[in-house]
Amino acid sequence: MSYSVLDIANKIIANTDSSQGEIISNLKLQKMLYYLQGFFIAVYDKPLFENQIEAWQYGPVVKEMYHHFRNFGAGAITLNGDENIIELEKDENELFFEVLEEYGQFSAIKLMNMTHNENPWKTIFNKTPQGIIPLELLRDYFKTQIVE
């Protein structure tokens, strides 16, 4: 089963530790959605969410989430507090937090640079800027990134 991309975005934001000076900007959120989608489809052979990821100038973007959070500009995205933070299945939740821990430590700019060197973004952006990154391309690339 796939989840609402807004529910996944809210879960990322809710699990960003602002007390440690950590913030989640729209740029960083987009990259986290990309990494989560990539690893989920590589591990489970199904998408975490149904929304498409596009190859924009500053890296992968889920357009609907970009527009949803764009009022925050480059600043920290905050939640209202009335959002329902979803629970994933146990094994999915473990993968979610593994990816969050591994990639959440990097700045938005570092994540952007990382995605620019990865096949899914490079392949599509070089052919069609703002083109859709196919799930198959994500799956095939992220299967090579899984450490057993």
Q: How many CB atoms lie within 10 A of CB 46?
A: 11
pTM confidence score: 0.96
Express each pLDDT in 11-37 by its tens digit.
999 998 766 667 899 999 999 999 999
Question: What is the CB-side half-sphere exposure of residue 130 using CA atoms within 13 A?
Answer: 1
* Cα four-point dihedral sign 8, 114, 130, 39: negative
Res 112 pLDDT > 70? yes
Res 46 pLDDT > 70? yes
